[in-house]
């Protein structure tokens, strides 16, 4: 099959670098004489036909912008048979030969359902949480880390001035990668991640604070991944057990915004370009009845791809080695 028109959408949580990926998809497609359409607000746009042509100039001046110019949304109707049928019909009506879907795990599950209904899809992993098992890296993670790091550095100034303990909650959903890396980068005394939910607070945190206090340290930073879910209780307990004035700071959605870092712009550009070339090369190898969909991934530093059916088999392993290093140097 010769691809003539590609649809591109962003779905699920936004992540800095999504615009760079959209731009790379559109420019690579046009470079190869393929038309592109932008689908607005994730799978919603495919259900209600909110679809517009994208030209070279439509993706000018977006590489440096956070968020997504195609907007994003969650779409419950898409998960129904009726919703999926509308999507398939609209893809036919708009002559869309293949889709590039930029988002997280949920977005890829949707693409897998579409693929089963004959629509070729390529997924590009974009989420600040870096929680997609099949890819070492997801677009947005680096920017979010740097944003969180800057904010925790600022919180350290005030914690230090007041001899306080600041408990900082960072994002990451059920994954602790943002907590782990920002905790290390900011010299946190403790890092609490959802992967280790039953951490013994008394024997780890309280005991360690008391020992460190004997060395003259008077202020502490504890970084907590939001998936731990007990940030406030933890802070109250630390204050009660140590007499340290303890404050909670929840960084929240600020971590999802902002201008993407170099790493996120370059990775997004590489992945967007790869996705379109994959569509051109793979779809020319199979006949029209053999629909194949893929997810673009980073593996051992290389941008590559795997079939979409294999994208859900693997839980990302938490880096316990890095976690142990962090605890050895936070004294
Ligand atoms: P993310 O892609 O960031 O993981 P979500 O989990 O919210 O974000 O998924 C984005 C959209 O993908 C959902 O609104 C829905 O339309 C679709 N989706 C999510 N999970 C599934 C699923 N299990 N099956 C089919 N579609 C799904």
Is-catalytic flag, 129?
yes
Tens digit of each residue's pLDDT (9 = 90 or more) over 139-187: 999 999 999 999 999 999 999 999 999 999 999 999 999 999 999 999 9
Asked if pLDDT for residue 289 goes beyond 70, the answer is no
Distances (CA, A) of 302 to 79, 115, 305, 311: 33, 25, 10, 17
Tens digit of each residue's pLDDT (9 = 90 or more) over 36-67: 999 999 999 999 999 999 999 999 999 999 99
Distance separating alpha carbons of residues 141 and 261, to the nearest angstrom = 9
Token readout for 3 is 């691809």
Determine the pLDDT at residue 313: 87
Decide if domain 5-140+260-311 falls under CATH 3.40.50.450.
yes
Task: Quickly tell me which residue has 């393929």 as its tokens.
Answer: 34
Per-chain mean pLDDT for the chain: 96
Kindly list the domain boundaries of the chain, sorted by start residue.
Answer: 5-140+260-311, 142-257
Asked if pLDDT for residue 27 goes beyond 90, the answer is yes
Tens digit of each residue's pLDDT (9 = 90 or more) over 212-265: 999 999 999 999 999 999 999 999 999 999 999 999 999 999 999 999 999 999
| Closest atom of ligand 1 relative to the 78 alpha carbon | 16
Residue 167, beta-bridge partner list: 222, 248
Q: What is the dihedral of CA 178, 182, 183, 186, to 10 degrees?
A: -170
Give the confidence band of 79 by pLDDT, cuts at 50, 70, 90: very high
Cβ of 195 less than 6 Å from ligand 1: no
Tens digit of each residue's pLDDT (9 = 90 or more) over 95-139: 999 999 999 999 999 999 999 999 999 999 999 999 999 999 999
**Ligand 1 mean position, distance from CA 287 (Å):** 29
Give the confidence band of 290 by pLDDT, cuts at 50, 70, 90: low
Same fold, 5-140+260-311 and 142-257: yes
Cβ of 104 less than 6 Å from ligand 1: yes
Determine the pLDDT at residue 286: 53
Give the confidence band of 283 by pLDDT, cuts at 50, 70, 90: confident
The CATH class that applies to domain 142-257 reads alpha beta
Determine the pLDDT at residue 1: 76
**Ligand 1 mean position, distance from CA 107 (Å):** 4
């Amino acid at each position: 099959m010769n691809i003539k028109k590609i649809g591109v959408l962003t779905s699920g949580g936004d992540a800095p670098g999504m615009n760079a990926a959209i731009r790379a998809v559109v420019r690579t497609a046009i470079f190869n004489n393929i038309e592109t359409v932008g689908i607005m607000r994730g799978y919603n746009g495919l259900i209600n036909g909110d679809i517009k042509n994208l030209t070279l100039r439509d993706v000018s001046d977006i590489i440096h912008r956070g968020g997504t110019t195609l907007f994003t949304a969650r779409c419950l109707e898409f998960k129904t048979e009726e919703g999926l049928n509308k999507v398939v019909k609209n893809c036919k009506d708009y002559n869309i030969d293949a889709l590039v879907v930029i988002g997280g795990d949920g977005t890829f599950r949707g693409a897998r359902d579409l693929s089963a209904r004959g629509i070729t899809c390529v997924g590009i992993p974009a989420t600040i949480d870096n929680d997609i098992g099949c890819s070492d890296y997801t677009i947005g993670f680096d920017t979010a880390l740097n944003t969180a790091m800057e904010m925790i550095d600022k919180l350290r100034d005030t914690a230090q001035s007041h001899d306080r303990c600041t408990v900082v909650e960072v994002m990451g959903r059920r994954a602790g990668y943002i907590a782990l890396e920002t905790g290390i980068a900011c010299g946190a005394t403790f890092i609490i991640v959802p992967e280790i939910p039953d951490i013994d607070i008394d024997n780890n945190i309280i005991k360690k604070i008391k020992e460190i206090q004997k060395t003259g340290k008077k202020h502490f930073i504890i970084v907590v991944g939001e998936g731990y879910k007990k940030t406030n209780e933890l802070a109250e307990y630390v204050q009660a057990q140590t007499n340290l004035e303890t404050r909670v700071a929840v960084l929240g959605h600020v971590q999802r915004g902002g201008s993407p870092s170099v790493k996120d712009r370059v990775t997004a550009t590489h992945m967007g370009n790869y996705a379109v070339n994959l569509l051109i090369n793979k779809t020319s190898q199979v006949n029209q009845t053999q629909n194949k969909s893929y997810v673009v991934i980073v593996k051992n530093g290389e941008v590559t791809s795997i079939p979409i059916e294999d994208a859900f088999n693997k839980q990302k392993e938490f880096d316990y080695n890095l976690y142990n290093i962090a605890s050895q140097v936070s004294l």
